[in-house]
Structure 1
Amino acid sequence: MHRTTRTTAVLLFVAWAVDYLDRQVVNLALPAIGETFGLTHGERGLVLSAFFVAYALTQIPGGLLAGRFGGVRMICLALVLWSLFTGLTALAWSFTALVALRFLFGVAQGLFPAAAIDTLSRRSLPSQRLTANGWIQSSNAVGGLLAAVLGGLLLARWDWRAMFVAVSALGLLVVVAIRRWLPAPLPEEETGPPLKPGKGAAAALLKSPAVLGFAVLFFAYDVVVWGLGSWSASYLTEELGLPMARVGLVAVAPTVLAAVAAVVGGRLSDRFEGRPRRIVVPAMSVAAVLIALLPFTGTVGFVVVATLISGAVGLCYMPCFSVPLRSLPPALTGTASGIVLFGGQLAGIVVPVLFGHMVDAFSYRAAFWSLILGPVLAVAVVLRVPQTSASFLAGLRNAVTSTGTPTAVPTAAPTDKEDDTDASAAPRPS
């Protein structure tokens, strides 16, 4: 990778790790928070979903703001705001106040993802972009691991309020690092198609069936991620009797394998020049089988099966973004990724609260089995979305023409060869 790309990836890796740490510590604190306020499982799910409502609603505006004001400015603003609301969570005095603070925290973090992708796209070559993003997104697993270990230790020594205060300062340190060491962007002729997006570019992306298809694919991916991530700690403590201090330790293997899988998925996506179904179909098929087995395991078995699920699903992260990020100029990648991220975060709104209600109404077993819908949907969708840049841009040009907005995509097809089995590009019967 280019030196500029490597430096940018390292800084964004750290920023994403802190993002995920601040987001995930609430999952470990959820049993203690529930006891403090006397919450049912459904109400605990609402605490988690409040974040995702705000986070999802901010994805597309975050992408537009990154394109308007620059990804770096929006990254720094997001870091400062979410660190503030992380600390203020410790002051929650009621269930309503807690939900409100988690909502504001979600707004702040929602500004970050598209801005981060915008920042990297301006500092990376298209042929290396997914590999770099894979390394960066592996930080999610690292952040989850840090949240599990650090959060578990802090909860064992202090209480959940002190934990939120302790982790809130990390984001401010990342702002200082970014302002000091982030390199300047690469020349525009190196980072993507040499064009200035037209006035209707964002509207065309919002209406593009291809971009919306990748958003649904990311929704399916996040059904599994947030279902397991939000409730595994509660299941291990309530059903299997594992002490809270040990819950953080059993998360080590799943998070490490998820980190490795994200890197491998990004590298394979670059090598396959997109073609997400080559990764998603086999990986999600394995995940579906493993989810069916998960409720029948004890503590050790749960850790082993959950680890394998994390690895299988982790391979599918970058394929959800692969074709749009390889195809579009940097000025449009923030908006496109914001749309895809919005689709994924809808799962964060729906899954935690539904999972909690299913536990209350039925059992943890039924709740875990419901997560199989994620892999099933992912396989169904990935067979329909464009598999290469050529088919993606062809469909986007058609969308631009049909809506009457100015053309904002290249008129020449990219150089990568079309997949002969690309269903989205195959002729349809009249």
Structure 2
Amino acid sequence: MPLPRSPAGRSTPLSGPARTTVILLFAAWFIDYADRLVINFVLPSIGDEFDLSRSEQGLVVSVFFLAYALSQIPGGVLADRIGGRRMALWALAVWTVFTALTGLAWSFAALLVLRVLFGLAQGVFPSAATKVLVERSQPQERMRANGLILSSNSLAAVFTPLAVAPLVAAFGWRSVYISVAALGVFVYMALRLRLPPPLVDRRSLPSATPGADTKTLLKWGVLWRFAAMMFGYSLIIWGLSSWVPTYLKDERGVDLHAAGALMAIPALAAALATVIGGRWADGTGGRHRKIVLPAMTVAAVSLPIMANASSVALFIALGTVAVFAAALCYMPIMAVPIRSLSALHIGVASGILVFGGQLAGIVAPTVMGVLADAFSFQAAFTFLALGPVIAAVMACLTPQDTDTFLAAADDRIRAAAPAAARPTEKELA
């Protein structure tokens, strides 16, 4: 797949406010994602302590995503109404508290309740973080910046298992949540003290009331098709991250330390692919179909073969190929809406996109747990091939550039969109 050219044939450095914002949001997202990933690596220990079946273990993962998904759109509405910075700080503070409390869970029921509350608190962060970035960056640099920020998710997937294994071995699974909560406090203070002010938008926007166009955005079918594309991508990512550690332990006899090291390989590939995808998305002005269709074809072919791999090495190799291909699509899937819409509307819009992804976080762990109990892990992993098919179909049903995207928008939303989001013919030549 040839690398798409950036505007004017080269990449310009990120602006100062964007660079600082990238660093701070990278740290916040790293903690956010590490908090979510911990459960996948301590799940066998929790299952042993509370005597849980695989279906019940899948439920522990899925209830978080249910709450996380349900709070996406309300979180976007609140971010548009009261500000991205305020919502991001509130979310980080509250989920840090529930991270610590998860380490004190005394029963399966208590764990489920804490996971729900944890999900509600974390769920308002993505829209707020996206709004924080949009307010402090230019449209033409947003996907590069966002690619760098969200590569933190994959890097967290590298470092989390490496840190979790020795902590669990030495102090038990509860110590992991206390440790991550302590790191959350430091990130909260950095974000509170160092985040730069928003860029000044001197244009006269058609709607002065934050959140005034919420209903219009929620009814906009185009955004929901982008959300469906995000669902397809996330089905792959959350399905693999939720069950590969347990599969390696239970089916292949790989201990937690070795499983963490093996999981680092696809995670590093995903981090690289996320950054590359962000550069490609900015370089093409969106146009996600050029990337999504070939990449998701690779993922769709790799996953069923991976499910029936004859060795751990082949399983990890094919999983790495599937994850790399899927992660190339992450930023392109988000590119057209985030590049096109103004900061006035980005909270709700990004909430809709992330909601689609988090629905996959509800579906994948539970369905895969049921399939593993009823049939086999081979059936569970083969199920994930549905994700790239959904993403590819939605890529064909969504606008490929800003002009086409905004042509279907409400007049006020279209008028508020930054002119800089529209690439010129010279830039695309």
State how far apart, in whole Å, the 2-side matches of 1:55 and 1:134 are.
Answer: 22
2:237 equivalent in structure 1:
225
2:257 equivalent in structure 1:
245
1:97 equivalent in structure 2:
110
Letter in 1 for 2:409: L
Length-normalised TM-score, structure 1: 0.92
2:6 equivalent in structure 1:
none
Pairs aligned (count): 407
Contact kept, 8 Å, 1:276 with 1:322, in 2: the verdict is yes
1:427 equivalent in structure 2:
none
Residues 150/352 of structure 1: CA separation in 2 closer, same or farther (3 Å cut)? same
State how far apart, in whole Å, the 1-side matches of 2:324 and 2:222 are.
Answer: 26
Letter in 1 for 2:288: P
State how far apart, in whole Å, the 2-side matches of 1:352 and 1:316 are.
Answer: 21
- How far residue 415 of structure 1 moved from its aligned partner, in angstroms, is 4.0
Contact kept, 8 Å, 2:206 with 2:415, in 1: the verdict is no
State how far apart, in whole Å, the 1-side matches of 2:97 and 2:341 are.
Answer: 34
Residues 415/12 of structure 1: CA separation in 2 closer, same or farther (3 Å cut)? closer
Letter in 1 for 2:413: A
Contact kept, 8 Å, 1:134 with 1:262, in 2: the verdict is yes
2:293 equivalent in structure 1:
281
1:197 equivalent in structure 2:
207
1:260 to 262, 269, 272: 272
- How far residue 16 of structure 1 moved from its aligned partner, in angstroms, is 0.3
Given the alignment of the two structures, is residue 216 of structure 1 paired with residue 228 of structure 2, yes or no?
yes
- How far residue 284 of structure 1 moved from its aligned partner, in angstroms, is 0.5
Letter in 1 for 2:44: P
State how far apart, in whole Å, the 1-side matches of 2:228 and 2:257 are.
Answer: 36
Given the alignment of the two structures, is residue 325 of structure 1 paired with residue 338 of structure 2, yes or no?
yes
State how far apart, in whole Å, the 1-side matches of 2:287 and 2:50 are.
Answer: 48
State how far apart, in whole Å, the 1-side matches of 2:134 and 2:416 are.
Answer: 21
Residues 381/417 of structure 1: CA separation in 2 closer, same or farther (3 Å cut)? farther
Contact kept, 8 Å, 1:390 with 1:416, in 2: the verdict is no
Ranges in structure 1 where 5+ consecutive residues have no aligned partner:
401-406, 419-430
Contact kept, 8 Å, 2:75 with 2:127, in 1: the verdict is yes
C-alpha RMSD of the superposition: 1.5
2:29 equivalent in structure 1:
16
Given the alignment of the two structures, is residue 369 of structure 1 paired with residue 382 of structure 2, yes or no?
yes
Given the alignment of the two structures, is residue 84 of structure 1 paired with residue 97 of structure 2, yes or no?
yes
Given the alignment of the two structures, is residue 182 of structure 1 paired with residue 195 of structure 2, yes or no?
yes
Given the alignment of the two structures, is residue 124 of structure 1 paired with residue 131 of structure 2, yes or no?
no
1:236 to 234, 243, 248: 248
- How far residue 409 of structure 1 moved from its aligned partner, in angstroms, is 2.3
Contact kept, 8 Å, 2:147 with 2:331, in 1: the verdict is yes
Given the alignment of the two structures, is residue 339 of structure 1 paired with residue 329 of structure 2, yes or no?
no
State how far apart, in whole Å, the 1-side matches of 2:35 and 2:104 are.
Answer: 16
1:166 to 169, 179, 193: 179
1:72 to 70, 85, 88: 85
Q: Percent identity?
A: 45
1:409 to 381, 393, 414: 414
Contact kept, 8 Å, 1:156 with 1:244, in 2: the verdict is no
- How far residue 322 of structure 1 moved from its aligned partner, in angstroms, is 0.7
1:62 equivalent in structure 2:
75
